[in-house]
Amino acid sequence: MGTKSSMLLQEEEIEEIQRETGFSKNQIVRLFSRFTTLDKSNNGFLRREDFLRIPELAINPLGDRIVHSFFSESNDDTVNFRQFMRILARFRPVKKNSEKNKLNDRSEKLRFAFKMYDLDGDDLISRDELLAVLHMMVGANISEEQLGSIADRTIQEVDEDKDNKISLEEFVKAMAKVDVESKMSIRFLH
């Protein structure tokens, strides 16, 4: 369907995004329509508050982390459509015969999940960071001590080099048995 925004998506841009992310043209156009709907002030980019205006995201316990992940690739506090699509591309389902080195393969999905815990972006999940994320998910319903012991136990099971932090490799190993392909994939329609 056509869009009412003043910004239009050029053919070349669609093709570039198609190559980069693997989305079909129809999907790109629909997602662009969504992007412009979220971009209420018609800036051509999104800010944090544009995301958090979505009620369902605002009440998500990890809402802030999810929004943050969009800004990890940009230098300032804005997200343009390309960056938007690159992040969404992580959640495309994995195909059996697809090319390697695309944005939606298992390692990219795992890296995305890792970054949800890695608050300061130093590629290590510390005990404090794990605790903070646990806190976001449970609110005030579980005591600090109990959360602390959950965090300790988790790190202990996973930490191989005994630095009391979880690195990306350790994280990937820990998630070896997890069906990341379906847990971190969204069913896109065509």
Query: How near is the Cβ of 122 to another protein at its closest, in Å?
Result: 18
Residues that bind another protein (CB under 8 A): 1-4, 18, 22, 24-27, 30-31, 34, 37-38, 51-63, 65-66, 88, 91, 93, 95, 97, 112-113, 116-117, 133-134, 137-142, 146, 149-150, 154, 158, 171, 174-175, 178, 180, 183-190
Q: Report the amino acid identity of residue 9.
A: L
Q: Report the amino acid identity of residue 4.
A: K
Going by the DSSP 8-state scheme, the letter that residue 41 receives in this structure is T
| 44 or 136: CB nearest another protein | 136
What φ, ψ does residue 166 adopt, rounded to 5°?
Answer: -105, 120
| 24 or 163: CB nearest another protein | 24
| 42 or 75: CB nearest another protein | 42
CA–CA distance, 95 with 115 (Å, rounded to integer): 24
Query: How near is the Cβ of 155 to another protein at its closest, in Å?
Result: 10
Q: Report the amino acid identity of residue 154.
A: T
| 44 or 66: CB nearest another protein | 66
Helix (H) or strand (E) holding 14: helix 11-21
Query: How near is the Cβ of 151 to another protein at its closest, in Å?
Result: 9
Tokens of 190: 């065509």
Helix (H) or strand (E) holding 166: strand 166-167
